[in-house]
Structure 1
């Protein structure tokens, strides 16, 4: 006789109110999509030099993450492409001479914050790494300040540790640009000799106010 399958455990419906911080995040993202003409460009980026630099720094006793190295290049890029580093206020684009770099961070409870490292162009790679870790620690302990939460001029959202290679980051309004970082894959690339070789390639997604 075939044994009778057990009935699945009864699961109840749930209602999750969007209130408090979750409600504020939901409202802000909805406003962002309704108030800004958002466009996202996706591209691949060879990560050979990035990984080689990380290895060289590690040999020299300097421990930084891939994210720290990406942030370093983002800051340098914004100093050369200043039209992406700023905020929209009414009918005016306010471009900032300093890079107040916001970093998107996921928190328990499906919360998302993006505090800023102020004047990040004045910091060394190691100093910026320390500042990023400090923001993350204070974010987890609910100790971020209002200026840190609202004073950024450009945001980076890093999903490099996930399976996501490209995505569509939503503008952290009133900022006019946000860069999404995807995972690094080994991809077949031309070797310059008529053949192919595998190289690390990272997915990038840049959303900007058109």
Structure 2
């Protein structure tokens, strides 16, 4: 007995996304490092800002951290063009966004390193609204230098993001789970741990400096 099959053609925007994903894997040497960070301080900052009348999300705070860390690791901020690595002084932070209809976009916040936390939040919300209204510009879609992909609201703790080529790197934000960790008095306590996954182009960056970057991200989140 034959069962019904629903055939969904990969065409239109979905087809363009599929082609870009396949091209990304074919034309770059992708590797992913995984780590996790204690977000106790980050969550405490979010609550403190909320009490003071400033609403921010976990993603907003991580964005702010990433910008400061990228300034210290300029080898992670840029693109690969042919046989050249182009490193950018300004951080144009692309935000991967899931859209209705199984679509995906990653527009950039230009000069994100020059923005305050509240300005980053406003820019992210503006991009999201204009993405849903199909009002993003070509430069916003093509001139990013580093990407963040957030699956924090799911149950995915770690994943292997596909690069937003020609960018050098992409940081995946996973869910926060409670894990037992040593306390200062050698007892165990439950701490909220965020999964982080850094995919990078091994042609442009080796494993050790990529690990240094991800370690700095973790330390920066933990020391807020």
TM-score category by the smaller chain? Answer: over 0.9
1:129 aligns with 2:114: no
TM superposition shift of 1:20? 1.1
1:97 aligns with 2:89: yes
Alignment equivalent of 2:190, drawn from 194, 198, 205: 198
TM superposition shift of 1:12? 2.5
Distance 2:104 2:85 in 1: 26
Q: List runs of 5+ in structure 1 lacking aligned partners.
A: 1-9
Q: What is aligned with 1:5?
A: none
TM superposition shift of 1:117? 0.2
Q: What is aligned with 1:48?
A: 40
Structure of higher RCO (CA pairs closer than 8 Å, 6+ residues apart) = 2
Alignment equivalent of 1:154, drawn from 123, 141, 146: 146
Structure with bigger gyration radius:
1
Q: What is aligned with 1:7?
A: none
TM superposition shift of 1:193? 1.1
Taking only aligned residues, the RMSD between alpha carbons, in angstroms, comes to 1.0
TM superposition shift of 1:11? 6.2
Q: What is aligned with 2:172?
A: 180
SS of residue matched to 1:104: strand
Distance 1:111 1:192 in 2: 46
TM superposition shift of 1:82? 0.6
Q: TM-score, normalised by structure 2?
A: 0.88
Q: TM-score, normalised by structure 1?
A: 0.94
Q: List runs of 5+ in structure 2 lacking aligned partners.
A: 203-224
Poorly superposed stretches of 4+, deviation over 6 Å? none
Compare the two structures and name the one with the higher helix fraction. Answer: 2
